[in-house]
Amino acid sequence: MTAAIFGLAGVIVGGLISGGATYLMARRKEKVTARASARLLEEELAMAADVLGVLTTYSDEEAKALSPEGFPAPGLSAFPFDRWLERQELLAETLEAEDWRAVSGAYRSIRI
């Protein structure tokens, strides 16, 4: 009887340890993915800031002349928001409310 109780206790403890380790690894993976997404979005927002800088500094003709291939000048209508569209759900799940409002607000401002 005592062996059965110790066996059952071992199974329960083993299950808890295994479940806890799986949970911690999943949370770590989620954080790493969210961090990578944030870095990619930072790059996308930096490019948008560059575009806005060109738009506010130069005329449409000057901006077109200065723009390397793929640089969406003179307007933001051609600006790709692919990374934001792909990753906004993940970031909504993982970011704190204040951080989420800052990032989503930046993209809303760009679209306006």
Could you report the per-residue pLDDT of 59-98, keeping only the tens digit for each? 766 666 666 554 554 455 556 677 888 888 888 888 889 9
Q: How far is CA 26 from CA 21, 22, 45, 97, 100, in A?
A: 9, 6, 28, 21, 21
Q: Sign of the CA dihedral 10, 16, 21, 22? A: positive
Q: Rounded mean pLDDT of the chain?
A: 79
Is 76 in contact with 110 (CB distance < 8 Å)? yes
Could you report the per-residue pLDDT of 41-53, keeping only the tens digit for each? 888 888 878 777 7
Structure tokens at 90: 């993940």
Q: For residues 60 and 66, give the distance between their C-alpha atoms in angstroms, rounded to a whole number.
A: 10
Structure tokens at 91: 């970031």
pTM score of the predicted model: 0.56
Peptide bond into 68 cis (omega under 30): no
Could you report the per-residue pLDDT of 91-103, keeping only the tens digit for each? 888 888 998 898 8
